[in-house]
Amino acid sequence: MERKIIFLTKAFLPEFEEYINEIKDMWDTHWITTMGPKHNVLENELQKYMGVDNVSVFVNGHSALKLLANAMKLTGEVITTPYTFISTTHAIVQNGLTPVFCDVNKDDFNIDVDKIEALITDNTSAIIAVHVYGNPCDVEAIDKIAKKHNLKVIYDAAHAFGEKVNGKDISEYGDASIFSFHASKVYNSIEGGCAVYKDEGIKDELLKLRNFGIGNRDVEYVGINAKMNEFAAAMGICNLRHIDEIIQCRKELTECYINRLDKIEGIQVMAKLDSELVRRNYSYMPILVNEDVFGLSREELLKKMNDLGIQALSNFYPITNRFSCYKNIYGDAETPNAIWLSEHILLLPLNTELTIDEVNYICDTVINLKENS
Ligand SMILES: *Cc1c(COP(=O)(O)O)cnc(C)c1O
């Protein structure tokens, strides 16, 4: 018998007809890429949805981050965290900048604001912090530190699309934020991403960098090709119409997980619900596995779940500066919490195709594995 696999992520797709309707006019215009009408509609719709002035879309979130750091003229050292997707660290290094790794909090996986100031030197130009799993960073404390030391702040908000902090869109904090619209994220445009920024002054350069640096009959900057095509933009337009139902669906699944898993000793449920301060997007379902109490290590639980067709993931493991491309360049002595979290984290399946029955099955499986360990 073929066993059904429960996927960690599954891309949200609109109804087939909705997408077909959205792309139909491309067969008249043949405008399928390079800042076409869909591209421009998407930028406008995103601006409206987020309630912000400057949104520029890109072929993916990574390009948005890389080009934003370029257009904002960051120099020297950038304070960041290693408990993230490799993209964050790559974007810094690819700009010829030096990542300085700050440790994270054990309760929210985000930059520990009390450890930032000790890392600031004369060469520090910015903080690039990550809203890990959609947990908002301590944006007010970061803002204060940045103002005091004249640093720029960029948030890697790849996990945080649609979130509000203190009633404001999460992208309103810091100087700029990037979002990822990759298929695996809460909101997708197949592949895609955007930059949201306050300084209108960087717009011209940022948009040219996205298109090889080409300006008016001249090439003004050493840019790359990071333009979003019209098929991706059309998917983004369709999926934005469904963002509220996507978040609501994920919220209900998360509530079910939390109710079931909170009672299991040795499992620390790290997913959080909405609060007065934060409207969440329920992007991931992180738990921490305490081997001594649970009876199985994270690796053992992961393997047993995967063997049973439940696609869990030990993400983020290892921390970025332990991958071979950075291992001998940037040490990890300063970030014990990041290392510890990376060794205990497990992401459970969470996507809009998942059912409450499947969540119950996953939770039953975790309980059974504990009892048989
Ligand atoms: C997904 C992700 C990115 C990169 O986004 P892409 O759209 O895949 O380029 C960057 N940072 C974090 C934290 C991510 O999870």
Q: Which of 93, 180, 194 to mutate to test the pocket of ligand 1 (most atoms within 8 A of CB)?
A: 180
Rounded-to-integer distance, Cα 326 and Cα 333, Å: 14
Please indicate whether residue 283, judged by its CB atom, sits closer than 6 Å to ligand 1: no
Whole-number Å distance, alpha carbon 157 to ligand 1 midpoint, is 9
CB 373 within 8 A of CB 295: yes
pLDDT of residue 2: 60
CB 286 within 8 A of CB 345: yes
* Nearest CA residue ID for atom 5, ligand 1: 61
328 Cβ contact partners less than 8 Å away, ≥ 6 residues apart: none
Whole-number Å distance, alpha carbon 14 to ligand 1 midpoint, is 22
Three-class secondary structure of residue 165 per DSSP: strand
Rounded-to-integer distance, Cα 315 and Cα 145, Å: 29
Rounded-to-integer distance, Cα 339 and Cα 120, Å: 22
User: Which phi-psi region, left, alpha or beta, contains residue 155 (left: φ > 0; alpha: ψ -120 to 50)?
Assistant: beta
Rg (CA), the chain: 21
Whole-number Å distance, alpha carbon 358 to ligand 1 midpoint, is 27
Q: Determine which helix (DSSP H) or strand (DSSP E) holds 121, and give its type and residue range.
A: none
Ligand 1 atom index nearest CA of 63: 9
Please indicate whether residue 84, judged by its CB atom, sits closer than 6 Å to ligand 1: yes
- From the list 366, 362, 349, the residue with the least C-alpha distance to 294 is 366
Whole-number Å distance, alpha carbon 266 to ligand 1 midpoint, is 30
| pLDDT tens, N- to C-terminus, the chain (373 residues) | 567 899 999 999 999 999 999 999 999 999 999 999 999 999 999 999 999 999 999 999 999 999 999 999 999 999 999 999 999 999 999 999 999 999 999 999 999 999 999 999 999 999 999 999 999 999 999 999 999 999 999 999 999 999 999 999 999 999 999 999 999 999 999 999 999 999 999 999 999 999 999 998 999 999 999 999 999 999 999 999 999 999 999 999 999 999 999 999 999 999 999 999 999 999 999 999 999 999 999 999 999 999 999 999 999 999 999 999 999 999 998 999 999 999 999 999 999 999 999 999 999 999 999 999 8
Q: What pTM, to 2 d.p., does this model score?
A: 0.98
Q: Determine which helix (DSSP H) or strand (DSSP E) holds 300, and give its type and residue range.
A: helix 298-307
Ligand 1 atom index nearest CA of 87: 10
Q: Which of 109, 182, 190 to mutate to test the pocket of ligand 1 (most atoms within 8 A of CB)?
A: 182
Ligand 1 atom index nearest CA of 191: 7
pLDDT of residue 303: 98
Q: Which of 86, 111, 156 to mutate to test the pocket of ligand 1 (most atoms within 8 A of CB)?
A: 156
CB 304 within 8 A of CB 323: no
Please indicate whether residue 61, judged by its CB atom, sits closer than 6 Å to ligand 1: yes
Please indicate whether residue 130, judged by its CB atom, sits closer than 6 Å to ligand 1: yes
* Cα–Cα separations (whole angstroms), residue 271 to 175, 218, 254, 286, 364: 27, 50, 7, 6, 18
* Residue 289 CA, distance from chain mean position: 22
Rounded-to-integer distance, Cα 293 and Cα 274, Å: 29
Please indicate whether residue 60, judged by its CB atom, sits closer than 6 Å to ligand 1: yes
